[in-house]
Amino acid sequence: MTQSACVRRTITVVLGLAIGFGGVLSAQKRDDRKPSVSLKVTPMAGFSPLRVRVSVDLKGGPDDFADLYCPSVEWDWGDDLNSGNSEDCSPYEAGKSEIKRHYSAEHVYRQAGNYRLNLRLKQKNRVVASGSAMVDVRPGVQDFDN
The domain 3-15+32-139 is placed in CATH, from the list 3.30.1490.20, 2.60.40.10, 3.90.1150.10, 3.40.50.800, at: 2.60.40.10
Q: With 70 as the cut, is the pLDDT of residue 1 above it?
A: no
Model confidence pLDDT, tens digit, residues 58-71: 999 999 999 999 99
Cβ count within 10 A of residue 81? 12
- CB distance 78 to 135 below 8 Å: yes
Give long-range contacts, CB 8 A cutoff, 24+ apart: 80-86: 81/107, 83/107
Least confident of 17-21, 100-104, 113-117, 135-139: 17-21
Do residues 110 and 48 lie in contact, with contact meaning Cβ atoms separated by under 8 Å? yes
On the question of pLDDT at 24 being above 90, the answer is: no
Least confident of 10-24, 66-80, 130-144: 10-24
pLDDT band at 10 (very low <50, low <70, confident <90, very high): very low
CA dihedral over 89, 57, 111, 43, signed as positive or negative: negative
* SS3 state of residue 27: helix
What is the separation of C-alpha 130 from the centre of its chain, rounded to a whole number of angstroms? 7
**61-108 pLDDT, tens per residue?**
999 999 999 999 999 999 999 999 998 999 999 999 999 999 999 999
Domain map (residue ranges) of the chain = 3-15+32-139
